[in-house]
């Protein structure tokens, strides 16, 4: 799976990019037809202390999956997004089995 990490307004550390790729590659255990993943990391400067947003767009046949999480650290947001995507991929796979 191809993983595109986009970080508007700042440069992501290579450790963070490797962490994201490692986590997203584990999703292929649950659904092997993933085409690519777009990851958007944003830092919002509000009155709150450095609120970070992680958005993951997973491209799969017959539709895409999108997850967005707000967090304090990018790693935590990526973990939460991946867990949500795991549940969604399992549901999608079960629906496909039901139609066969």
Q: For 13-48, what is each residue's pLDDT tens digit? A: 999 999 999 999 999 998 888 999 999 999 887 666
Go through 20-51 and write b for each residue having 16 or more CB atoms within 10 A of its CB, e for each that does not: beebbeebeeebeebeebbbebbeeeeeeeee
The answer for 81, left when phi > 0, alpha when psi is -120 to 50, beta otherwise, is alpha
Q: E strands along 7-50, which residues?
A: 36-44
- Confidence check: pLDDT of 65 > 80: yes
Which fold would CATH assign to domain 2-99? Double Stranded RNA Binding Domain (3.30.160)
Rounded to whole angstroms, the Cα distance separating 16 from 7 reads 11
For residues 56-79, give the mean pLDDT: 93
pTM: 0.89
């Amino acid at each position: 799976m191809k993983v595109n990490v986009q970080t508007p307004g700042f440069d992501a550390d290579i450790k963070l990019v490797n962490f994201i790729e490692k986590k997203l590659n584990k999703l292929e255990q649950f659904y092997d037809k993933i085409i690519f993943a777009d990851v958007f990391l944003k830092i919002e400067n509000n009155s709150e202390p450095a609120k970070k947003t992680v958005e993951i767009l997973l491209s799969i046949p017959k539709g895409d999956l999108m997850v967005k999480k707000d967090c304090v650290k990018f790693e935590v947001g990526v973990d939460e997004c991946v867990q949500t995507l795991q549940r969604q991929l399992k549901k999608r796979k079960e629906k496909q089995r039901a139609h066969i």
